[in-house]
A and B are shown apart, each in its own frame.
Chain A
């Protein structure tokens, strides 16, 4: 049995500049952190079953991996040449499509685990690239590379996407005091599961030329945001999140909607400094930065406002930052 894990992530600014249509012309940048919500993948060698089992929100049992409906597991098994006698299960503390990058965390944990299963150990960069290859080249998702790198490396990072396709990872060296301080100022408020982001990302990619100047500003705002975090100036950081979110909304239609815009307004009027949506398509998580003494008021106001806007499952998700990236939690298959 092998159990691998990878964290979900919160991205602060620069999201969208990790798409090749942009970064081949100008360096893309994203600042993000891993959070204490993990996808776990369990992989079992089942020599007497002669089947491939994939157990996630549904259970699939097939005789050949090509018959699997789960695109990521199917393509990963085919790519690695694993054809039978394997059972794969995934586990997570919160549902998929919350805007926390969980699908890439899934791919990262899957590639880390499956490679360990065939006796190949991957370091952080190798597993990030393996997950990118899986999602972008094999499954053909219209996504960038930020989420795979965030999940594989863990911790706070500035990711830079260079025109030649390389990704550099600069850890943001925040000490525990600043990290705890930021956790205490940060509100993660779940509104509801997002639609498939593919259609929005496809439109966003098509609009890259038109949006080039906006994306450039988003990329250039990353070092400024980083400095605000290093100074523990969370008010400036919150205001920059609003600017970033306002820019992001212009990239494609359907990223936000009037209900979300109203929730933003009431959060700000309750004392929040600023924030953004994590996830596209009019749902996901609202992330706000607020003074500590306004936290409870902001959350309470959001609870009432979200119900009024029809977000029935709205709730606060307590969140902590972690240094962990892609990990092998258990490997009883030998070393």
Chain B
């Protein structure tokens, strides 16, 4: 049994050693640009990937600014789609399962936004529909995939592919969780650093400033 565990962890270590660093960096630049223009970040995924999406949204919206919650004029706006089970089942039941993401996304999407699509196979039809909608609106897509990347990887602006054998869901989803935590940790450190320096009189196209000086009082 120890050997089994060892083999799995070796595979995971090998994937982590070879993380697509450039594509992850590109993804974080896309997120930063969305922040600067006060855009929203939609995240979609099926099954375990939906759980990853939900977990990430919770972390990203709250944890990134957790050390100085009053210190920023605006924060990230990450939204998992669909936002309710009711909406998910309504689209699935009434229209079709392929529209459970693209349907709700159509309600929200604006030019300033970003889509993160998580799919181990990269081939889930409902994910591809959402990605195609985003692309038709010229909204940047961060594609987080596994196996051979499927259809998702080539359609993405940041191509975060964790290459494995077909069907290695456990490894792929585990590494995807790490990648998503890198996003969170990077921006947490970034805003902590900016806050400490009192720096960041940086003006943003949204009209706000990346700023620790102009506090908005938020009742606790």
Instruction: Return the CB mask of A316-335 against B: 1 if under 8 Å, else 0.
Output: 00101111110111010001
A173 interface hit (Cβ, 8 Å): yes
In angstroms, Cα B112 to Cα A116, docked, is 12
**Cβ-based interface call for A246 (8 A):** no
User: Please, how many angstroms separate the alpha-carbon atoms of A335 and B202 in the complex?
Assistant: 30
Binds A, one of B21-29, B50-58, B88-96, B166-174: B21-29
What are 22 pairs between A and B in contact, CB < 8 Å? A7-B205, A38-B205, A40-B205, A121-B136, A123-B138, A155-B29, A173-B29, A175-B25, A175-B186, A176-B189, A180-B194, A184-B199, A318-B201, A320-B203, A322-B33, A322-B202, A328-B111, A329-B205, A329-B207, A331-B110, A331-B111, A335-B137
A323 close to B202 (CB less than 8 A):
no
- By the criterion CB–CB under 8 Å, are A155 and B111 in contact? no
* Cα separation A292 to B180 with both chains bound (whole Å): 35
Alpha-carbon distance between A125 and B83 when the two chains are bound, in angstroms: 33
Name the A residues within 8 Å of B29 (CB-CB).
Answer: 155, 171, 173, 323
State A147–B123 Cα separation when bound (angstroms).
Answer: 38
Selected from A40, A176, A183, A323, the residue in CB contact (under 8 A) with B36 is A323
- Given known pairs A324-B204, A329-B205, the reply for A180 and B112 (CB within 8 Å) is no
Closest residue of chain A to B157 (Cβ to Cβ) is A123
A324 partner, pick from B136, B200, B205, beta carbons under 8 A: B205
A5 engages B138 (CB within 8 Å): no
Chain A interface, >50% SS class: mixed
Q: Pick the contact of A327 from B22, B32, B111 — CB < 8 Å?
A: B111
Contact B206–A173 (Cβ < 8 Å)? no
- Residues from chain B with a CB closer than 8 A to the CB of A173 are 22, 25-26, 29
Cβ contact within 8 Å between A36 and B33: no
Q: Is the CB–CB distance between A324 and B26 below 8 Å?
A: no
A122 at the interface (CB under 8 A from B): yes
**Interface mask (B87-125 → A, CB under 8 Å = 1, otherwise 0):** 000000000000000000000011110000000000000
Return chain A residues, CB-CB under 8 Å to B32. Answer: 323
Say whether B37 faces chain A, with CB atoms less than 8 Å apart. yes
User: A321 to nearest B CB, angstroms?
Assistant: 8
B residues touching A (Cβ–Cβ < 8 Å)? 22, 25-26, 29, 32-33, 36-37, 109-112, 136-138, 186, 189-190, 193-194, 197, 199-207, 210
Give the distance to chain A from B23, nearest Cβ to Cβ, in Å.
10
Contacts A173-B22, A173-B26, A176-B189 hold; do A37 and B203 have CB atoms under 8 A apart?
yes
Tell me whether A176 and B193 are in contact in the complex, defined as CB-CB below 8 angstroms, given that A123-B138, A171-B29, A325-B33 are known contacts.
Answer: yes
Minimal Cβ-Cβ distance residue in B for A93:
B203
Considering the complex of A and B, which 9 residue pairs feature the smallest CB-CB distances, nearest first? A320-B202, A328-B111, A173-B25, A323-B33, A121-B138, A176-B190, A323-B32, A36-B203, A5-B205
In the complex the two chains form, is B33's CB within 8 Å of A116's CB?
A: no
User: How many positions in chain A have a CB within 8 Å of any CB in the partner chain?
Assistant: 34
Chain A residues positioned under 8 Å from B37 (CB to CB): 5, 324, 327, 329
Chain A residues whose CB sits within 8 angstroms of the CB of B36 once the complex forms: 322-324
**A279: interface (CB < 8 Å):** no
Which residues of B lie under 8 Å from residue A171 when comparing CB positions?
A: 25-26, 29
Which A residue sits closest to B203, measured CB to CB? A36
B210: chain A residues at CB < 8 Å are: 320
Does A16 interact with chain B (Cβ within 8 Å)? no
Minimum CB–CB distance from A189 to chain B (whole Å) comes to: 17
Within 8 A of B (CB), among A267-325: 318, 320-325
With a CB–CB cut-off of 8 A, which chain A residues contact B200? 320
Flag if B137 contacts A121 (CB, 8 Å). yes
Residues of B within 8 A of A335 (CB): 109-110, 137
State the CA gap A47–B167 with chains docked (Å). 57
CB–CB B201/A180 < 8 A = no
Q: Is the CB of A116 within 8 A of B25?
A: no
Tell me, rounded to whole Å, the shortest Cβ–Cβ distance linking A149 to chain B: 15
Chain A residue with Cβ nearest B24: A173
List which A116-164 residues lie within 8 A (CB) of chain B: 116, 121-123, 126, 154-155
Q: Is A155 a contact partner of B33 (Cβ separation < 8 A)?
A: yes
Which of A37, A93, A126, A320: most chain B Cβ within 10 A?
A320
A321 CA to B202 CA in the complex, in Å? 8
Which residues of A (28-72) have their CB < 8 Å from a CB of B?
Answer: 36-38, 40
- Shortest Cβ distance from residue A227 to the other chain B in the assembled complex, whole angstroms: 16
Q: How far is the CA of A183 from the CA of B112 in the complex (A)?
A: 26
Cβ of A180 and Cβ of B111 under 8 Å apart? no
User: Closest B-chain residue to A328, C-beta based?
Assistant: B111
For A327, what are the chain B residues with a Cβ–Cβ distance below 8 Å? 33, 37, 111-112, 205
Chain B residues closer than 8 Å to A176, beta-carbon distance: 186, 189-190, 193-194
Least Cβ–Cβ distance between A235 and chain B, in angstroms? 21
